[in-house]
Amino acid sequence: MDRPYVHINVAMTADGKIDTFQRKGAAISSERDKERVDQLRAAADAVMVGGRTLLDEDPKLTVKSEALRAERVRRRLSPNPIKVGIVTEAILKTGSDFLNTGPANIVIFTTRWTSKHHISLLKSRGVDVYVDNTEKVDLPKSLETLKQLGVERLMVEGGATLNFELLRLGLVDEVTAYVAPMIFGGANAPTMAAGSGLERGEAIPLKLVDAETWDDGGVFLKYILERSI
Ligand SMILES: NC(=O)c1ccc[n+]([C@@H]2O[C@H](COP(=O)([O-])OP(=O)(O)OC[C@H]3O[C@@H](n4cnc5c(N)ncnc54)[C@H](OP(=O)(O)O)[C@@H]3O)[C@@H](O)[C@H]2O)c1
């Protein structure tokens, strides 16, 4: 494959929402799920987020557990996976957690909407910046670049628009979801896949390979994409 193995992970409510209508990054994961997500990050070569999640929530995307970071170092890896942002206009605050919490290599895929000034600023912070001459980031090309950078396993941590685009383009191998025992409702609250949507005949088939009920009241689901079975 000329792209990494791509794994989307989400935490969602029983009504499929990954945030409330307020879009402030509502907490959904249980403690057990947070540990699972940390293990996934530690097992990944890179962790990717979409532009809205990156700019609005400024995620650290680092491995929280010291033991897991040490384990990566024992495997001669950086303590944290590469942080990857897919962002149309990359106006990141220089003091942001995304840029400063590490150590971690950072890769930003952006478009011509990002000014030369902001590109230089990011490069001066040691960020690898790739600029597409397009309206939105060219995702197949970005994944190819990540593969060339040595990324074999990519974890995608949302949000809704990026998840959908990757799925629509057939670039996803696995989807895992922690379904928390709560409902957010809200027509404008994001679900795990947003974007333009698909007609019924174009629905993306999934194969359920694991389903667990957890004693925190949540459910863990693991799907693989039919084309990678
Ligand atoms: N519960 C969870 O597991 C979880 C995880 C992460 C995020 N979230 C939630 O998800 C929400 C954010 O999701 P979102 O859908 O608004 O945004 P998103 O998926 O984080 O980012 C999408 C944005 O990235 C930019 N982009 C550039 N090229 C793209 C491409 N080829 N494909 C897709 N996006 C591209 C676009 O920015 P422009 O519009 O500027 O062009 C696009 O709107 C937040 O509420 C956050 O809390 C939840």
Give 186 Cα–ligand 1 centroid separation in angstroms.
Answer: 18
Q: What is the pLDDT tens value at each position of the chain, 229 positions in all?
A: 799 999 999 999 999 999 999 999 999 999 999 999 999 999 999 999 999 999 999 999 999 999 999 999 999 999 999 999 999 999 998 899 999 998 999 999 999 999 999 999 999 999 999 999 999 999 999 999 999 999 999 999 999 999 999 999 999 999 999 999 999 999 999 999 999 999 999 999 999 999 999 999 999 999 999 764 4
Take residue 229 and report the two structure tokens written for it. Answer: 């079975």
The full DSSP string for 166-205 is HHHTT--SEEEEEEES-----TTS-BSS-TT---GGGPPP
Give 227 Cα–ligand 1 centroid separation in angstroms.
Answer: 25
Q: Is the CB of 160 under 6 A from ligand 1?
A: yes
Residues 6+ apart with CB under 8 A from 67: none
Rg (CA), the chain: 17
Rounded to whole angstroms, how far apart are CA atoms 13 and 19?
A: 8
